[in-house]
Structure 1
Amino acid sequence: MAITNHERVGRALELLKKGLAPFIEREIRTISEEEAKRLVEKLSADERLATGKPLAEWDAAALLKLMWEGWNAAFKKTLGYAERSIVSELREVRKRWAHQETFSGDDAYRALDSVERLLTAVSAPEAAEVAKMKRQLLRQQFDEEVRGERRRVGGSLVEAVATGALTPWRDIISPHPDVASGRYQEAEFAADLWQVYLGEGSDEYRDPVAFFRRTYLTDSLRTLLVRAAERLAGTGGDPVVQLQTNFGGGKTHSLLALYHLFSGAAPNELPGVEELLAEAGVEKLPEVHRVVLVGNRLSPGNPTKKPDGTEVHTLWGELAWQLGHAKGGAKEARKAFDRIRADDERATNPGDRLRELLRDYGPCLILIDEWVAYARQLHDGADLPGGSFETQFTFAQALTESAKAVPQCLVVVSLPASEGASSPHAQAEDVEVGGLRGREALERLRNVIGRVESSWRPASAEESFEIVRRRLFDSLADPAAFKARDVTARAFAELYRRNRGDFPSECGEADYERRIKAAYPIHPEIFDRLYTDWSTLLKFQRTRGVLRLMAAVIHCLWERGDKSPLILPSTIPLDEPRVQFELTRYLPDNWAPVIEKDVDGPNSLPVRLDGEASNLGKYAASRRVARTIFLGSAPIQKAAHQGIEDRRVHLGCVMPGEPVAVFGDALRRLAGDATYLYQDGNRYWYTTQPTVAKLADDRAEQLLREPEKVAKEIENRVRREVRQAGDFARVHPFPQSSADIPDDPDARLVVLGISSPHAKGEESPALAAARQILETRGNAPRIYRNALVFLAPDRSQLQDLDAAVRRYLAWDSILRDKDALDLSPFQVRNAEERRRGEEATVDARLPEVYRWALVPVQGSPEEPVTWTEIPLQGSEGLAVRVGRKLARQELLLTSLGGVRLRMALDRVPLWRGDHVEVRQLVEDFARYVYLPRLKSPAVLAAAVSDGVGQLTWENDGFAYAAAYDEGAGRYQGLKAGTQVRVTEDDQGLVVKPDVARRQLAAEGMQTVTTPTGPAKGGGRQPEGPGRAPEEKKPRRPKRFHGSVVLNTTRAGRDASQVAEEIVAHLVGLPGAEVTVTLEIEAVIPDGAPENVVRTVTENAVTLKFRSAGFEEE
């Protein structure tokens, strides 16, 4: 019956309780009785589940709390910082379990893994049961993921593009059946010497033939086996060998090789062994009695009871029993043990009896693994069945000296490598070594064993490639397969040589082609990243970690029908849960959201980018780039130089026949849009912390709820843009009401706000706003309607402008808050670049939005006013662009000829009897929409001058008079056919040519002298047919002056009010020159303090005061 993850965690906690209690009880006895009593009483009082119970019956929560509280006093010497972290984590797990919280598959696995690690650290036998539960959980998870799902080529899954010229790797080499089918289990890649000794585990480790078939004999392993054969055959070799590597460096695998070499199997059945024996000069191996001692499987505090009832307490007792059992079964085992029984029961060093034992039961092979894990649990006193801390090293010395003295005896000990504090493997060493007591044990064992040990080195990087390849793939046998592999290697090598600038320099060397062949079908870059970067992570056990990962990758690619010529970093399917788990399990932070959003998966950014751009989608370029960056950057978050270079990204992505530029484009797009992808120059990396770009996105999103800020920024930019008025006398951006637009004859451009957009052919908000302003000024009708033109935003373009402005404001706010956000110099530079880019986008989109000129038009006085919608283009300023467009379409005239003025006078007609005042014409052209729209009254004045000066004035022009004398019935200062200076506020008259000709003929003259001014009573005639006469306007005042005293407590507000109510009206008058002077006078009875004097004086200089100063009297 299936169990839930919650139940599974509960079972693990029960096993934890059972395994921890003896260890804790044992360690508590090593401290003072008073300290121990205080700890136990304190915990008994605090923990309900511990009240009134002996330690052995305490709940897991109480035991863990006791370990945490009493760490420095009782456990620090035995366990290390890694175990202390596990204790803290398991306390939280126990709390979640007690509160009935749910556990995801990953949560449950991590809880089981932590329980197993802590139990293993204290040599509790319950660790094996938890490990079994962990494997069952993994199998259940993975079975659920792949059940019923058959992956085929294509579909929604990404596969690398096959060039057609290169054979896919799957057609050249096949994975082992267990890898291809996904039937392998994690434990199959974990060599366990103790399991093999017990006859358990998978065949590839338990069976000698299967083991050697899948084992690559590295130079160091070959040397080890040869020397061992020589030693046990009695022809040479070293008596003691110390295997020393980093965490996961292959020590246990080497011990297994020795174990199987002397298993009694025929050498000709073991692949590669015959050659080894030939090299050693050994024709036949003797019968060897093997002993296996694994420190974390033997507890110094719990004696081991054998099947025959023998109770073994110490390592030397276990050694004796196994030696006898290897020679003659249980009876001989008891006989051998009896020789040192007394030393075992008293936990004393057996001394010379150990040498005699090795001699009598030789040839013998003694394999010792995890000795430090055993020794660190011992106490200074002999209070444990396994002996004291000191006795352990006396035994170690006796063992090594005895092995040296006894022929055909070989002792092989594996110890963790020594790392400095700055080493990337220092944490991994702590996992194997433990706390202070563990480090002391390691150092003393090195000193003892080092006196007689033989050197041994782990596998090189190149050898590791072959180890992994042989474990995961069948061997190549077909000559055609070798040829296809070589063709692929040559194609990649040529790609790198032809494009040296796009790839790392070492790829262009001839040796790189050899590396591709050696690692085939896995690209060397994958191995480089895993062995160089990922191996620095705590828990990543080098070869074992690589095997687990690549087995998951190969299984997934095999099922998906991947047809890539090589397996590259870019083809690692991070969207596959099993693959993702194998990578993220070693990373300290939660990477799942990062991968889901920015790296791989159906809804990730790279998939979206590939879908939007066909050139990227053709190669799945964005997805492949993201995978490569993740593999190369995720494990080195704290490195001095984070990330990988763009050339190494290309190396992980590009295949022969593919353009490098496409992947460069994908890289740039990812860097611009990703939330968790950082860039510094040509280096790129992912982190679990959102980039400043993510913060900018969040702030831009927040501005959706603050539209007034966006509108204000747009208005400010438009105001700056329309400071160049172009052909308009004045531009009025964003009037709050029609009263804000002066009513005078000068042509004005009104810029409507974004709340009044326009759409072609519709009765838009822009048209409604323009119509209201055209018809009214405040509550009164507008007089000069032919002086207004409108600029409106395009409704369809507003959304893009809004988004661009929000992004600009977001980046701008980030830079203003850079100190509070504690941005790095790199982030500041990046933010500045992004702000400049967004500002350029805003500047480009502003004219795209303000692209509609709305112009009122009227064909004749009888027709209604309609609106012309004119789309605008060009790079000029907004007002300049409108003015030029209207000028080209003669909807705004910057000049008017006299002939055209004559046509308008006759067509409408505009005559008031036999003449019309110049001022009246100015009024008419500014009032009536059916007349041409003039830039200003000065245009009309120039047209009058031109019409009077025409030589053909009788037919094409008119005459000019200074005034009309009603009493005499004649025009004073009448002129025609000559140049006349006319101004826009001229009080003269435009006279019909036939009327002027009659007067001139009657007076016998063709021209008149320059008029001296109008006669009294002249200059007023009826307006024209059907129009009521208007009274003559009074003379206009030409100067204004005023002063006002401002309230000092609200001077700013009062000054603003004066500017709006007085100054604005004066500035709006044509040609007005307005000067506003602010005078400040302050009387300070007690005198101004020095700081105020300094501040006011400096501010006055900054504000460019013409004069300012303090006086003493």
Structure 2
Amino acid sequence: MKPWREIAIPHTDVLKGIFLQAEFAADITAVQSGKAVHEYQDAKAFFERTYITEGMRLLLTQVVQRLSGKGGEPVIQLQTAFGGGKTHTMLAVLHLASRTCPLSDLQGVPTLVEKAGLMDVPQAKVAVIDGTAHAPGQAWKRGRTTIKTLWGELAWQLGGSDGFAMVKESDANGTSPGKDVLRQLLEAHAPCVVLIDELARYIGQFEEGKSFSGGTYDSNLSFVQSLTEAVKLVPSAVLLGSLPDSAPPSSGDRGKLAIKALEHLFGRVQALWKPVATEEAFEIVRRRLFEPIKDLTARDAVCRAFADAYVTEGAKLPSETQEGRYFDRLTQAYPIHPEVFDRLYEDWSTIDDFQRTRGVLKLMAKVIARLWNSDNKDLLILPGSLPLASGDVRNEMTYLLPQGWEAVIEKDIDGDRAETTELEGKEPRFGQVNAARRVARTLFLGTAPSCVATKPGIRGLDRGRVLLGCLQPGQTTAVYADALGRLADRLHYLNSSGDKTVDTTRFWFDTRANLRREMEDRKRRFDLKTDVRKRIEDVVKKLFASVPPFDGVHVFTPHADVPDDSALRLVVLAPENAFTKDDPRPATDAVLEHLRSHGGQPRHRANRLIFLAADRQVLSRLQDATRVALAWASIVKDVAEGGLNIDQIQRRQAEKEADAASAVVPRAARECFKWLLCPVQDDPTVTKPTIESFPLNTTSGNAPGELERVCRENELVIETWSPIHLRVKLKELYWKADKPAVGAMAFWEDSLRYLYLPRLKSREVLAAVVRTGASSRDFFGTAYGQTGGKFDGFQFGEGAVSLDDTLLLIEPEAARQYVVGQQKLIVETPPKTDGDNGKTTTTREETVTGGSDKILNGNAGVSTTKAKSFRGSAEVSATLAKSKLNTIADEVIALLASDPHATIRITLEIDAEFPNGASDTVKRGVSENATSLGFKTKDWE
């Protein structure tokens, strides 16, 4: 038996690798203008390579009858799927009508004409209207004539300047010429053919209500309607129009409307068009790719040997191979095996954008060229023959598939580094017939489309169909069956549906390795509200473990568990409260709930909370990444505990995948939790706060640092404040004509509570701004109390103040007036006797410097005895006890303890009265706590 290469010789353009250039030249406008390559430009050469399918035969019969005035459909609509062969059919009509050679030179046409009951077909004028050739708003030239519309173009192509004169006025003003004018035009140049291609693209460009040089949307539809009606009135005129079976996604609303309108105007002649059958595709491909086969005896011998080998193997192969007609399929498809066509037309054609005719031709042209140049000696071109190691072939087969298939081919299927090649090198019985590569290639051809195809069905190939794609006469299926079993255990991307030794087991390739299927199955076990949420919570806690300037971070914490105190706190909202600009309510409602409530009680210090929320659009990716990490971790755990039996390669892969998936989750969490939500209230009279959102940059720096930057730059948290801002707030909200002084701690407490006040990082920020402001007379005066009209410890511009419960901040003008009043006081001190000379001295006591009420004594220069002890007591409000006692410890006790020689004893006295009697719970709790804290007395009366 001879190999295919000695019986079927490819066309020169296939062997030279220039077939695709000729395919792209299959353009009706290029042929009509004389610019196509010879195979498409010359009518004789075109029909030599064209197989007249049943659909084309029916259509051409209608055309020849119409041109001969013997009936036939006047208007034919070609509406086919992508790659359905309509362009090739229209080219056949063009060449048949406008031929310059005898009808007998057009292969296949004389028989067709004879069956139509005709002796000859008259030559006819042909006008080609290509919707992609012109734009609605641009005129074009035909010689010296300027043409603006499709009807102007039609008239020019049919009758030159004389024909154009018939529609000149309509062309100039963009209005349809009407049915009568078009009928006269067609009659004057009959017999004639009008071929309209891509018309929907042209009409879809017209905007509603706008007029272009090419007319309007309505005038173009009116032209189409008038033309179809005019053609029906001219017995030897025929119109063919092509429409896509659906609007492409890029066409827009106008394009879709145009298709619907044109469908209505053309009408459908469905019976005239049949899609290419698989058996017809055999002959199409052979004509287009191969020279005519001369040695039919050698061809039949090969096909008979294959058919006999299939019968010998019996039930090991698909049932159709046992039928006698399978020999006929082999001869029809020769030199390509029918299984190749079956997989391409049944499986690959379900992929969007795969062209049934041109796509197959492009692929097989590259396959044939590669096999020819590599001196392939197979008897037929089988699925197992496909040279996937070739870049051209591999690219042609993967460009419509999702990302990742090139890696699958290189690692598992074909090439110097593929597992199949390595296996064949180790196993001579596989290497002798390339068994491993043939099995893998067959599986790829038969299963790769299932990862993207929308066609429902059982995935994968069974063992018999895999063997059919590999077996040649003189071989047995055993070697390929063994290779399949070895590959099922070895390859990373080959999957199976069950026991690999059972004939009904199905095998398929996937871009995901075997364990990925296990991982995908396990992903579904993890619940979003429990497992996934808990893992995300743990990751976010680590991500925001310490976030300056916040004193505490609360991740997915209910409002009852977020303390209501003076500490600055970041609250990370739960995933169900994710945020988006378009729908912020789930997040903002959660923020408002935290601001209002502290468990069952109202929250008092709402201005100490800032919130961080997830981006809802990114949340699903984070949840998926978390599920993947949980799934891989469970696989690794089960492998370690013996619950999952895999090989070492898979184990290492699982561990690697688990580590990678675990590393993805923090990055995904960083990208997801990106919205800083800050409640604000510009006006004290507004009851409901506004929630402002600030996006975090998820790609720069670390998460806490980025969060701190956003807080600082947007002044969400004040770490350093200016006295002028404090003065503005005091003047705006606190100082009144009858009350020019306010307690500094009252302002601090209010800043914890009210959203219209600044959110200071800590009390020290207020203490620092008070100290700075107190050293100037521009901002406020200070005092440590007020008795009647007198300020105790009054200072104005001297600084050295301490922030405590007694500190007052005095409006600066009131402080100035107070200074003036004090300066006017002249106090006469009682007469004093000088102990040395017995003289009586009168000293005037005045307040004249520093702006304070400090007395300048005449004896100020005399040194006084140093104090030996200090005793102090203070009443502390129970509600401020924690803050007050901390302040006393920091600002009094610590100062006393700074003297290393001082002996300090501190006694705390608590006097509590209960008018209605203390409850047993309070009594028991206080007694137990007092005992544990070492109280000397703890008596109840």
**Scaled by the length of structure 2, what TM-score is found?**
0.54
1:662 aligns with 2:491: no
- Read off the aligned partner of 1:668 and give its amino acid letter: G
1:678 aligns with 2:498: no
Tell me which residue corresponds to 1:49.
Answer: none
Preserved CA contact (<8 Å) 2:59 2:272 = no
Preserved CA contact (<8 Å) 1:680 1:826 = no
Give the secondary-structure state (helix, strand or coil) at the position aligned to 2:644: helix
1:579 aligns with 2:393: yes
From 424, 428, 431, give the equivalent of 1:617.
Answer: 431
Tell me which residue corresponds to 2:81.
Answer: 246
Q: List runs of 5+ in structure 2 lacking aligned partners.
A: 499-504, 520-625, 652-920, 922-941
Tell me which residue corresponds to 1:375.
Answer: 203
- Deviation per CA, 1:197-225: give whole Å up to 9, x if none: 11112111111010011001112212221
Preserved CA contact (<8 Å) 1:343 1:350 = yes
Distance 1:311 1:668 in 2: 71
Tell me which residue corresponds to 1:430.
Answer: 248
- Deviation per CA, 1:181-204: give whole Å up to 9, x if none: 334334436521011011112111
Distance 1:629 1:827 in 2: 30
Give the secondary-structure state (helix, strand or coil) at the position aligned to 1:291: strand
Tell me which residue corresponds to 2:110.
Answer: 274
Give structure 1 regions of 4+ aligned residues with deviation exceeding 6 angstroms: 451-454, 693-696, 823-834
1:345 aligns with 2:178: no
Q: Give 1:765-914 correspondences, 5 Å limit.
A: 820-822=629-631, 835-836=644-645, 838=647
Tell me which residue corresponds to 1:600.
Answer: 414
Q: Give 1:635-714 correspondences, 5 Å limit.
A: 635-639=449-453, 640=456, 641-681=458-498, 682-692=505-515
From 472, 487, 498, give the equivalent of 2:301.
Answer: 487
Give the secondary-structure state (helix, strand or coil) at the position aligned to 1:262: helix
| 1:506 Cα deviation after fit | 2.0
| 1:637 Cα deviation after fit | 0.3
- Read off the aligned partner of 1:399 and give its amino acid letter: L
* Residue-pair matches, total: 535
Distance 1:825 1:348 in 2: 72
Give the secondary-structure state (helix, strand or coil) at the position aligned to 1:414: strand
- Read off the aligned partner of 2:311 and give its amino acid letter: R
1:219 aligns with 2:33: no
CA 1:695–1:601: 2 relative to 1, 3 Å: farther
Preserved CA contact (<8 Å) 1:244 1:457 = no
| 1:683 Cα deviation after fit | 2.0
CA 1:831–1:532: 2 relative to 1, 3 Å: farther
Give the secondary-structure state (helix, strand or coil) at the position aligned to 1:386: coil
- Read off the aligned partner of 1:574 and give its amino acid letter: L
- Read off the aligned partner of 1:246 and give its amino acid letter: A
CA root-mean-square deviation: 3.1
Q: Give 1:950-1029 correspondences, 5 Å limit.
A: none
Identity value in percent = 45
Preserved CA contact (<8 Å) 1:678 1:684 = yes
Distance 1:235 1:391 in 2: 33
- Deviation per CA, 1:863-897: give whole Å up to 9, x if none: xxxxxxxxxxxxxxxxxxxxxxxxxxxxxxxxxxx
Tell me which residue corresponds to 2:186.
Answer: 358
- Read off the aligned partner of 1:258 and give its amino acid letter: V
Give the secondary-structure state (helix, strand or coil) at the position aligned to 2:132: helix
Preserved CA contact (<8 Å) 2:488 2:496 = yes
CA 1:834–1:488: 2 relative to 1, 3 Å: farther
Distance 1:298 1:462 in 2: 39
From 86, 94, 98, give the equivalent of 1:259.
Answer: 94
Give the secondary-structure state (helix, strand or coil) at the position aligned to 1:836: coil
| 1:585 Cα deviation after fit | 2.3
Distance 2:72 2:426 in 1: 67
CA 1:398–1:538: 2 relative to 1, 3 Å: same
Preserved CA contact (<8 Å) 2:137 2:212 = yes
| 1:824 Cα deviation after fit | 15
CA 1:694–1:607: 2 relative to 1, 3 Å: farther
Give the secondary-structure state (helix, strand or coil) at the position aligned to 2:127: strand
Tell me which residue corresponds to 1:859.
Answer: none
1:554 aligns with 2:363: no
From 343, 352, 355, give the equivalent of 1:529.
Answer: 343
Preserved CA contact (<8 Å) 2:78 2:240 = yes
Q: Give 1:302-451 correspondences, 5 Å limit.
A: 302-308=138-144, 310-324=145-159, 333-351=160-178, 352-418=180-246, 430=248, 434-450=251-267
- Deviation per CA, 1:425-479: give whole Å up to 9, x if none: xxxx526x823322221122111111678632232221111101111111123xx
| 1:672 Cα deviation after fit | 2.0
Q: Give 1:137-156 correspondences, 5 Å limit.
A: none
Distance 1:819 1:561 in 2: 47
Preserved CA contact (<8 Å) 1:675 1:694 = no
Distance 2:637 2:16 in 1: 50
CA 1:301–1:621: 2 relative to 1, 3 Å: same
| 1:630 Cα deviation after fit | 1.1
- Deviation per CA, 1:35-83: give whole Å up to 9, x if none: xxxxxxxxxxxxxxxxxxxxxxxxxxxxxxxxxxxxxxxxxxxxxxxxx
| 1:274 Cα deviation after fit | 1.8
Distance 1:613 1:407 in 2: 73
Q: Give 1:462-501 correspondences, 5 Å limit.
A: 462-477=279-294, 481-501=295-315
Give the secondary-structure state (helix, strand or coil) at the position aligned to 1:499: helix
**Scaled by the length of structure 1, what TM-score is found?**
0.46
Distance 2:284 2:639 in 1: 44
- Deviation per CA, 1:919-958: give whole Å up to 9, x if none: xxxxxxxxxxxxxxxxxxxxxxxxxxxxxxxxxxxxxxxx
Distance 1:830 1:350 in 2: 80
Tell me which residue corresponds to 1:29.
Answer: none
| 1:622 Cα deviation after fit | 0.9
Distance 1:228 1:825 in 2: 68
- Read off the aligned partner of 1:167 and give its amino acid letter: K
Preserved CA contact (<8 Å) 1:242 1:454 = no
CA 1:648–1:221: 2 relative to 1, 3 Å: same
Preserved CA contact (<8 Å) 2:413 2:419 = yes
Q: Give 1:1036-1075 correspondences, 5 Å limit.
A: none
Preserved CA contact (<8 Å) 2:462 2:507 = yes
- Deviation per CA, 1:102-130: give whole Å up to 9, x if none: xxxxxxxxxxxxxxxxxxxxxxxxxxxxx
More helix by share: 1
Preserved CA contact (<8 Å) 2:402 2:452 = no
- Read off the aligned partner of 2:471 and give its amino acid letter: V
CA 1:826–1:361: 2 relative to 1, 3 Å: farther
- Read off the aligned partner of 1:430 and give its amino acid letter: P
Preserved CA contact (<8 Å) 2:137 2:213 = yes
| 1:517 Cα deviation after fit | 0.7
Distance 1:400 1:498 in 2: 60
| 1:818 Cα deviation after fit | 8.6
Distance 1:373 1:338 in 2: 27
Preserved CA contact (<8 Å) 2:443 2:461 = yes
